[in-house]
Chains A and B, each alone.
Chain A
């Protein structure tokens, strides 16, 4: 899929932008704080209705303005072309439109324009807390599988109820028997979540390995492994459910004292290794960044496979902390049939030739000009 027209009004530092990007690769060059990342952010925002940089939509509205508007024409291969638009107002909040029709339910809007973004925030996924890796899993899987989203939201609700019940049992205000149906539900939905995570990570492992080889040619080998909270044995929903039930029963006394549930997919982690060594604790900054990038590129492949067409690739400051070889590896990947937007502070830093057909644009103080 391709974005062939982007309009921004009062969005971040863009007063008014009418931008017709290249169908294939777009290199966005500019000094700091000119609006390079904001352009990528706008596309991500149109895809997900959220920013990847902030939770507060009001930050997207230009200072001194009351509203902001972002829209894009999207050309798609397997579905009809659409115009996608989000209007933000400080007073009235957010409305999401497709072909000028307002979509009140998020699932009707999200997923119409598919993008995969790589930015400095993604490196945290590799070196930060397990919660960030679970968040990555949840975000990716929710896009691909409605069943996952359903099981996850039921799981979270059950978990809240169970944690509350544990506290009540501890102070003698609830009977142990109250926990039994909650354990059963938690194990049922937990097993659905874990089975899906297992399947997704098995696939991600293969694609991320391949993507990493493309970045760090030579003898570095990336592995991505699921670290589930309980052994998954055969891996079917029934077995995982029993495994979870056993775990919950074993830890019940501890859980009651702590007032929280110590077993379940909310305690899962994903382990990444390069040549058998943990990336989180032992890899160099460049390796950590390459790992995050490889995961994102793998995600793009998985989205392509499940949606049936290529998502738009957004690479924000891909040069940082990566050597020339890895940069050209990333661009070579983007050239494999994706429309891409790549930002850089200087053209010398970017092996633009790898991209093949390319449009180069300069961003300066919220204005975009073709070079």
Chain B
């Protein structure tokens, strides 16, 4: 059976979303048909609103609806500490901890030659521009422990050392055992990593 045109269009739009296959797209479309007009309008407006009002912060490139994002604008935060992450969602992950009080820098991806992404496609030049005035004393490289994340971290670390020498400390977030979990439940890759990155206590 073919859907009526407007319905078919909605299904097709849903299917373009990540993680949504044909079945889920249909289910979502039928759900939209069932909800009230107000609910539907609220959804549509939220979609348009987010596209209109969310921009990237010109300093850290996190998403924001302000001129400067809340974190960059906050004088209470430690402006000498910079956490470099791949994506805005990583900022959200670190922020949830409520522990980190420094600033962020969002690269907008990781180096992956296979996907045609080199250092120039990322916001690495912008990172160096931020480091130039000497306020930042430490850069924490918090990309994922994948080949691409490690490549990116190593690339940036080398560049910072060759440009700023000992003036900026460069660190990499620790990888290994999840906190509060049992050794025998950790998968082997995690355990191997944890053993490799072991440290003196």
Verify A181–B150 contact, CB threshold 8 A: yes
Which of A107, A157, A173, A181 is in CB contact (< 8 Å) with B154? A181
Give chain A residues whose Cβ lies under 8 Å from the Cβ of B154: 180-181, 184-185
> Which listed segment binds B: A6-14, A27-35, A118-126, A159-167?
A159-167
* Contact across chains for A164 and B189 when beta carbons are under 8 A apart: no
Interface residue B111 (Cβ < 8 Å from any Cβ of A):
yes
Q: How far is the CB of B158 from chain A (nearest CB, A)?
A: 6
Measured between beta carbons, the chain A residues less than 8 angstroms from B159 are 177
Q: How long is the Cα–Cα vector from A182 to B116 in the complex, in angstroms? A: 15
Chain B, residues 132-153, CB within 8 Å of chain A (1/0): the string is 0000000000000001101111
Distance, CA A204 to CA B113, complexed state (A): 38
Residues A157 and B113 in contact in the complex (CB < 8 Å), given A175-B118, A180-B158: no
Contact at B151–A182, with CB atoms within 8 Å?
A: yes
Given A157-B147, A161-B151, A175-B118, A181:B158 Cβ within 8 A: yes
A178-B155 Cα distance, complex, nearest whole Å = 7
Q: With A147-B192, A168-B113 given, is the CB distance from A185 to B150 under 8 Å?
A: yes
Q: Which of B107-140 contact A (CB under 8 A)?
A: 111-114, 116, 118-120
Checking A154, A164, A177 against B113 with a beta-carbon cut-off of 8 angstroms, the contacting residue is: A164
Which residues of A are found within 8 Å of B39, using beta-carbon distances?
none
Q: Tell me the minimal C-beta distance from B91 to chain A in angstroms.
A: 23
Q: Is the CB of B113 within 8 A of A178?
A: yes
Q: How large is the interface on A (under 10, 10 to 19, 20 to 34, 35 or more residues)?
A: 20 to 34
Structural contact, A150 and B188, CB atoms closer than 8 A: yes
Give the residues in chain A near B147, CB-CB below 8 Å: 154, 157-158, 161, 185
Within 8 Å by CB of A165, from B113, B158, B192, lies: B113
Are A181 and B113 in touch, CB under 8 angstroms? no
Smallest beta-carbon distance A182→chain B, Å: 6
Chain B proximity of A196: nearest CB distance (Å): 12
| A168:B118 contact, CB within 8 angstroms | yes
Say yes or no: B155 contacts A164, CB within 8 Å: no
Interface positions of B from 91 to 118, Cβ below 8 Å from A: 111-114, 116, 118
Tell me what chain B mostly uses at the interface: helix, strand, loop, or mixed. Answer: helix
Over the window 174-197 of chain B, the binary record of Cβ atoms lying under 8 Å from chain A Cβ atoms (1 yes, 0 no) is: 000000000000001100100000
Q: Is the pair A146, B113 in contact by a Cβ cutoff of 8 Å?
A: no
* Contact status of A161 and B188, CB under 8 A, knowing A177-B155, A185-B151: no
A237 to B147, CA, bound (A): 19
- Please indicate the chain B residues that have their CB under 8 angstroms from the CB of A107 in the complex: 188
- Total residues of chain B contacting the partner, CB 8 A: 21
Interface residues of A in 236-289 (CB under 8 A from B): none
Q: Is the CB of A177 within 8 A of B148?
A: no
In the complex the two chains form, is B150's CB within 8 Å of A174's CB? Answer: no
Select the residue from A149, A158, A175, A178 with max chain B CB neighbours within 10 A: A178
User: Residue B119 contacts which of A150, A158, A178 (CB distance < 8 angstroms)?
Assistant: A178
Contact (Cβ within 8 A) A164 B114: yes
- Within the complex, the shortest CB–CB distance from A248 to chain B, in Å, comes to 15
With A150-B188, A185-B147 as contacts: A180 and B114 at CB distance below 8 Å: no
Q: Is the Cβ of B192 less than 8 Å from the Cβ of A146?
A: yes
Q: How far is the CA of A131 from the CA of B119 in the complex (A)?
A: 34
Instruction: Report yes or no: B188 in contact with A146, Cβ–Cβ below 8 A.
Output: yes
User: What separation, in Å, do the CA atoms of A173 and B192 have in the docked complex?
Assistant: 36
A177 to B156, CA, bound (A): 10
Contact A160 B114 (CB under 8 A): yes
A239 to chain B, nearest CB (A): 17
CB contacts (< 8 Å) of A149 on chain B: these are 188
Task: Tell me, rounded to whole Å, the shortest Cβ–Cβ distance linking B141 to chain A.
Answer: 11
In the complex, chain B residues whose CB is within 8 Å of the CB of A154: 147
For window 182-199 of chain A, which residues contact chain B by CB distance below 8 Å? 182, 184-185
Q: Smallest CB–CB gap between B190 and chain A, Å?
A: 10
**Residue among B118, B153, B158 having the largest count of chain A Cβ atoms under 10 Å:** B118
Asked if residues B118 and A174 are in contact (CB atoms below 8 Å), the reply is yes
A161 touches B148 (CB 8 A): yes
How far, in whole Å, are A278 and B152 apart by their CA atoms in the complex? Answer: 45
Q: Which of B153-171 contact A (CB under 8 A)?
A: 153-155, 158-159
CA distance A167 to B118 in the complex (A): 12
| Chain A residues with CB below 8 A from B119, complex form | 175, 177-178
Closest residue to A165 on the B side, CB-wise? B113
Q: Are B192 and A161 within 8 A (Cβ)?
A: no
**Could you name 10 residue pairs across A and B whose Cβ atoms are closer than 8 Å?**
A147-B188, A150-B192, A158-B147, A161-B114, A161-B147, A168-B118, A174-B113, A177-B158, A180-B154, A182-B151
Top 4 closest pairs, chain A to chain B, by CB: A181-B154, A165-B113, A164-B113, A146-B188
- Report A's interface with B, CB cutoff 8 A: 107, 146-147, 149-150, 154, 157-158, 160-162, 164-165, 167-168, 173-175, 177-178, 180-182, 184-185
Known: A168-B118, A177-B119. 19 other contacts (CB 8 A): A147-B188, A150-B188, A157-B147, A160-B114, A161-B113, A161-B114, A164-B114, A167-B113, A173-B116, A174-B118, A175-B118, A175-B120, A177-B155, A178-B113, A178-B155, A181-B150, A181-B152, A181-B153, A181-B155
